[in-house]
Amino acid sequence: MRRLLAAGVVLLARILAGGAVRRIGFHPDERQRIYFANHTSHLDFVIIWAALPPRLRTLTRPVAARDYWSKGVRAYLATRVFNAVLVDRDRATPMTNPIETLLDGLGDRYSLILFPEGTRGDGTTLNAFKSGLYRLALARPDVELVPVYIDNLARVLPKGEFVPVPMLASVSFGEPMHVDTGEEKPAFLDRARNAILEMRQW
C-alpha cells in the first residue's frame, strides 16, 4: 500500500510541476545528506522527494511543520508515505530542542530535506537562513549538504491557496558542501544561501 501511495504521489508531483530535474555537480547515491532548499510552497518537499531516484526516497525524510502535517490525510502521508520528521513551529509551547529532533531523524541511515529560511517566501527572493543548518552541519560533519533550487513552484501552489495549478517547475541539485574548518556561522550561511542563488542562473 505504501509503495502504491508513493508512486501515486510521485506521478501527481510530476503532473503538477513538470518534474524537470537538473544535477549540477551532484550525483545521487545512498550516502547521508541534508538537502536544503528555497521554500515557497507546501509542495516543496514533495517535489524534491519525488525528484530523487526511487531507492533514495525510502532513505530521505522531509522535515515538515507538525501543525500542518499532523492533521487528517496529511498526517497519514507524512508518517506512512514520506516518513517525515515533524517539528514544532510554536515557540511559545514547551518542545524538544528542534536540532535534537533533526539529529534523531538523521540517525545513522537517513537523509533530510529542510528549508533554512524557516518560512515560505514569495518565490522571487531568498530570505536569510536560520542557524539550524549550520548547527546540524557542525553536529554531523560526516553528512553532505546539498543545495537545491526549486523554480516556479510558488505559481503551482501560491501561498494562501489550497488547490495546485499545473505548471512547469524544475528542481536543481547543486554540488555538495560542508562547513569549512574555522568557518563562522554568518559566513557559512551566506555561502549556503549563495549556492542556491547561483543555480537560478542555470
6: pLDDT confidence band, cut at 50, 70 and 90? low
Domain range spanning residue 92? Answer: 2-201
Domain count within the chain? 1
The count of other CB atoms within 10 Å of the CB of residue 83 is 17
Q: What is the CATH number of the domain that holds 118?
A: 3.40.1130.10
Say whether pLDDT at 26 is over 90: yes
Its pTM stands at 0.86
Residue 170 φ then ψ, to 5°: -140, 155
Say whether pLDDT at 3 is over 80: no
